[in-house]
């Protein structure tokens, strides 16, 4: 089972971001120069786990329970106000210019637990982001309007990722409330 920890986004934030994306990157969408991620799939990955057997995944969930019991993480707000582009994988993303320290710390701890459980060991620095477009093979134009979204987060979601003919879909399989 291919899984990851993420912040899910409230439905109204997904819609607002999708509306802004449509107007800010009209030429990309209209020109078919990149593949827009369905708004329903918007999320911010905290730690990618990858393929883990069910038993290991359950152990990992127990460790997340213990982590949040001993080192609680408060709910908060993240300001999404920066656009970035990774030419290597063709991802155009929206993220915070300044990541809240608590979120950064939470991602680091979840990545450590995921690695210890046998999941992916991440060496790259955590760059909080929401993928807006995939397969963007040209350097994207500057966005026509600056993004400014304040998105509240109050839980961590463990998602299972499925790849189908229509692209990826993400199924929430567990949630942890933040304090």
Question: From the CB of 59, what's the least distance to ligand 2AM, in Å?
Answer: 20
Closest CB to ligand 2AM: residue number: 48
Residue 92: name the closest of 142, 39, 45, 162 by CA: 142
Q: Is 174 a catalytic residue?
A: no
Name the residues that contact ligand 2AM, by CB under 6 A: 4, 45, 48, 91, 120, 131, 161
Closest CB to ligand 2AM among residues 105, 161: 161
Block residue for tokens 């329970």: 65
- Tell me the C-alpha distance between 86 and 73, whole Å: 30
Q: Is 162 a catalytic residue?
A: no
CA angle 134, 139, 167 (to 5 degrees): 10
Closest CB to ligand 2AM among residues 22, 51: 51
- Tell me the C-alpha distance between 100 and 75, whole Å: 11
94 exposure class (CB count in 10 Å sphere: 0-12, 13-18, 19+): buried
Question: From the CB of 170, what's the least distance to ligand 2AM, in Å?
Answer: 7
Closest CB to ligand 2AM among residues 10, 72: 10
Q: Name the catalytic one among 3, 129, 136, 157.
A: 129
- Tell me the C-alpha distance between 150 and 76, whole Å: 10
Closest CB to ligand 2AM among residues 20, 30: 20
Q: Name the catalytic one among 43, 44, 64, 117.
A: 43
Would you name the residues annotated as active-site residues?
A: 43, 129
């Amino acid at each position: 089972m291919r899984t990851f920890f993420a912040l899910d986004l409230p439905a109204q934030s997904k819609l607002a971001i999708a509306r802004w994306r449509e107007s800010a990157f009209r030429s990309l969408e209209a020109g078919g120069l990149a593949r827009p991620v369905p708004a329903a799939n918007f999320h911010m990955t905290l730690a990618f786990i990858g393929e883990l057997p069910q038993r290991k995944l359950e152990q990992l969930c127990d460790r997340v329970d213990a982590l949040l019991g001993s080192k609680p993480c408060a709910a908060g707000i993240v300001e999404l106000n920066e656009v970035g582009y990774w030419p290597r994988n063709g991802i155009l993303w929206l993220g915070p210019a300044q990541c809240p320290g608590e979120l950064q710390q939470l991602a680091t701890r979840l990545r450590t637990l995921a690695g210890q459980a046998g999941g992916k060991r991440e060496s790259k620095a955590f760059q909080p982001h929401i993928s807006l477009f995939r397969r963007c093979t040209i350097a994207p134009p500057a966005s026509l309007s600056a993004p400014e979204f304040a998105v509240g987060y109050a839980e961590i979601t463990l998602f299972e990722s499925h790849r189908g003919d229509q692209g990826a879909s993400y199924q929430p399989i567990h949630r942890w409330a933040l304090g």
